[in-house]
Structure 1
Amino acid sequence: MDRFSVTYRLFADTQGEAHDFAAAIALENTVEIPRDVVPSGYIEDVVLGKVESVEAETDRTWRARISYHIDAAGEELPQLLNVMFGNASILKGVKLIEFSFNEDVRSLFPGPRFGADGVRKVIGKKSGGFVCPVIKPQGSTVEDLAELCYQTALAGADIIKEDHGLSNQKNALFKDRIPVCAEAVEKANAERKAKGDTSQAMYLPNIGGHGDEVEELAFYAKEHGAQGLLLIPGLFGFDAMQRLARNDSFGLPIMAHPSFAGPFVLSEDTGYSHGCYLGDLMRLAGADISVFPNYGGRFGFNKEQCLEIVDACKSGTGIGKAILPSPGGGMSIDRLPEMYNTYGDDCVYLVGGSLLRYGAKIGDAIREMSAALNSAS
């Protein structure tokens, strides 16, 4: 009987303890009853998680692979995540580091609608890294934000991403700013086209509002000229993103932001590995671009962790299409050549607050970003 598997890093003194720990996790994530009262037959044979292997990783950690059946997860993403790492996520000494999905899961959860290749086609950029300024700060007026959108798009930016802190504050309410900013990007795109540029800038507003408004606001953004959107799954939920990604009527690229993700990845012995959460789970939930803090920035991710995220975004064994990693977090233009040498063409390069130092000449900063990436290629 075909099953999908999840690999956990367990902290235990001996292999026997690790095996017992894995067996407890298999119970906890599925039937959640004592092993001696698990009914024989279908529940024991199919629904109950099964420990497939427990192997030494270090002198204090073990890799435990547990398999699950799709019948335990059903057909909804929340329950799939619940089976993979529900109650087990609140046990000490267990970290989810990898999963391998079978066709049962892949048929139910196809992943990103666009992926890296699809986003490239939408923008019309055949090769090269993507230049992505971040529109900020919170507290700006609609007019100021729109001017930033226009100037950066006109100068050749590929993706105009709103800062995740722009939500629905009174200075620039979501429904007030989206039509104005989208029109500014559309104007810049028209001017670029008139000069022979075959690519276009994508404007990605950040979804704000309440959880039950996500779909309404996403469609509002689309109807008023946005070419995609930014969403924070740590706040609104992975299922909210997945539902949008699978909605044929919406049909726009989605960029996922890692705000609120820290507790899920930063602990050594709990949560998820960096690649699993910011790469694999984002693909599973339908993100086309996954933002993460770059090494050397203000958030403390190291290079190995960042490369793990990139590998998960691009791996041929992941769910659905490969997606675009997007490193940021305190980056500046002079870091771009180094970043390009690390991440290459299929990457969205974020630069935010440091661009504001250019003031009215922010277009020069965008041209410098493009030149920096081109010189490194």
Structure 2
Amino acid sequence: MERVTAKYYIETPLDLEKSAQVLAGEQSSGTFIAVPGETEELKQRFAARVENITVLDTADSPAIPGVISSGGKYQRAMIEVSWSVENFGYNLPVLVSTLQGNLYELTQFTGLKLMDLELPASYAGAFKGPKFGIEGCRKFTGVYDRPLIGTIIKPSIGMTPEQTAALVKTLATAGIDFVKDDELLGSSANSPFDKRVDAVMDVINKHADQTGKKVMYAFNISDDIDQMQRNYEKVLKSGGTSVMISLNSVGLSGVKKIGDMGELAIHGHRNGWGMLNRHPLLGIEFSAYQKLWRLAGVDQIHVNGIQNKFWESDDSVVKSIEACLTPLLGGYSILPVVSSGQWGGQAPETYRRTKTVDLLYMAGGGIMAHPDGPAGGVVALQQAWQAAVDGLSVDEAATKYLEFGHSVSVFGKNK
């Protein structure tokens, strides 16, 4: 029988083997005391197995509250635990309840984080996964030899549909590939969803008729499931190619319901990610997180960015990009979305660290606040990535390219 295997980073003052067995029992057939129905036959078929324990370092104080060490030391280790697919089948909520359920409550652990998971081959037949991924998003935008250049409507909330459409027209004329609603904007008092779709798609469709290039606009359809479906259909009928969903707000089942519709690219925004990942010994690592959303059908997912405005390190961002570009189940391609405090100045370092142009490179203020206006911001980002691929430094690129040089004069000072 196929099995799902999860890797955890743990901390405990107790015996590692016994603590790992408590986790395996709690998340499968066991409980805190033997019960009559837990026969050897049942355990053989349904009990989780501790497959491996790799001992790491020790700490003098606990990472999170739990049992107090009598000896003053807290052992850290990597453990691998596996479950038979029979336990949850192809039910994503029950899978996540198994991988990330009550185990975070176990007093035996003063630190526990899901680091990665291995999925059996049969999952490729059970889940449709991303319909478009990297190749499909490139086809939608007609961009094949560089990152897709994108931006976010700013101010995040408060603009009317007409104001938003006017900005999109400026960006489309400048050559933008991708624009999205901010995650804070759904259907606000002065920007009802349907009216915003009508105004924006009128601009995008006219631009496509004139130039042959259709800008991908990700409308934020996040809502309850019935309304998300109505929003999705509105975008589709209006000629759109993409919708955005706030993944952590909507949940796996809601996202999968929309992803299975399969006619628009799904832009997955991970707002709320910090509460799941920021603590080094609590939550979930991105390599595991993005696999779950690939199963649900997300085509694009945020990975933060080099020298970002948030807490995440460059090393962590690079690992996230690599995780997205690592094949899963023979397909399930997903486009990494680089964002948060980005402008062209980070492009050379991003390319040096990742050696890929399979990215959606997003800049909000980096485009909107460019000294030559949004049009100059778009051009500057295109120039930055050409310079990055050509091996130019930021200073060399600033000398060669006018618009990028102007962006350095503004954003370079802030950095």
TM-score (norm. length: structure 2): 0.83
Deviations 1:211-245 (A, max 9, x none): 54222222222122221111111101022112222
Larger radius of gyration: 2
| Counterpart for residue 79 of structure 1 | 94
Please give the alpha-carbon distance, in whole angstroms, between the structure 2 residues aligned to 1:89 and 1:312. 24
Q: Cα RMSD between the aligned structures?
A: 2.1
Deviations 1:257-277 (A, max 9, x none): 111121111111110113322
Please give the alpha-carbon distance, in whole angstroms, between the structure 2 residues aligned to 1:61 and 1:142. 53
Please give the alpha-carbon distance, in whole angstroms, between the structure 1 residues aligned to 2:30 and 2:219. 42
Please give the alpha-carbon distance, in whole angstroms, between the structure 2 residues aligned to 1:62 and 1:185. 53
Given candidates 96, 113, 118, the residue that maps to 2:114 is 96
Deviations 1:56-105 (A, max 9, x none): 13343211111111221133211111111111234441100010011233
The alpha carbon displacement at 1:360 in A equals 8.2
Does 1:209 pair with 2:223?
A: yes
Given candidates 353, 357, 366, the residue that maps to 1:342 is 353
Q: Which has the higher mean CA deviation after the structures are superposed, 120-129 or 255-264?
A: 120-129
Point out where structure 1 has 5 or more consecutive residues left out of the alignment. Answer: 194-198
Q: Which has the higher mean CA deviation after the structures are superposed, 207-216 or 287-296?
A: 207-216
Please give the alpha-carbon distance, in whole angstroms, between the structure 2 residues aligned to 1:145 and 1:360. 19
| Counterpart for residue 336 of structure 2 | 325
| Counterpart for residue 39 of structure 1 | 38
Q: How does 1:263-278 map to 2 (within 5 A)?
A: 263-277=275-289
Please give the alpha-carbon distance, in whole angstroms, between the structure 2 residues aligned to 1:122 and 1:357. 27
| Counterpart for residue 357 of structure 1 | 369
The alpha carbon displacement at 1:366 in A equals 0.9
| Counterpart for residue 161 of structure 1 | 180
Q: How does 1:186-265 map to 2 (within 5 A)?
A: 186-193=205-212, 199-248=213-262, 251-265=263-277
Please give the alpha-carbon distance, in whole angstroms, between the structure 2 residues aligned to 1:114 and 1:57. 40
The alpha carbon displacement at 1:181 in A equals 0.8
Please give the alpha-carbon distance, in whole angstroms, between the structure 2 residues aligned to 1:201 and 1:304. 32
Does 1:65 pair with 2:80?
A: yes
Please tell me the residue identity of whatever aligns with 1:20. K
Q: Which has the higher mean CA deviation after the structures are superposed, 204-213 or 150-159?
A: 204-213
| Counterpart for residue 66 of structure 2 | none
The alpha carbon displacement at 1:35 in A equals 5.6
Equivalenced residue count is 367
Please tell me the residue identity of whatever aligns with 2:141. I
| Counterpart for residue 21 of structure 1 | 19
Point out where structure 2 has 5 or more consecutive residues left out of the alignment. Answer: 59-74, 390-415
Aligned partners of 1:274 and 1:306 also within 8 Å: no
Please give the alpha-carbon distance, in whole angstroms, between the structure 2 residues aligned to 1:222 and 1:139. 25
Percent sequence identity over aligned pairs: 23
Deviations 1:146-172 (A, max 9, x none): 111121122211112221121111121
Please tell me the residue identity of whatever aligns with 1:356. M
Please give the alpha-carbon distance, in whole angstroms, between the structure 1 residues aligned to 2:292 and 2:27. 18
| Counterpart for residue 117 of structure 1 | 135
TM-score (norm. length: structure 1): 0.91
Q: Which has the higher mean CA deviation after the structures are superposed, 85-94 or 162-171?
A: 85-94
Please give the alpha-carbon distance, in whole angstroms, between the structure 2 residues aligned to 1:72 and 1:18. 25
- Work out which structure has the larger RCO, using CA pairs closer than 8 Å and 6 or more positions apart in sequence: 1
Please tell me the residue identity of whatever aligns with 2:126. L
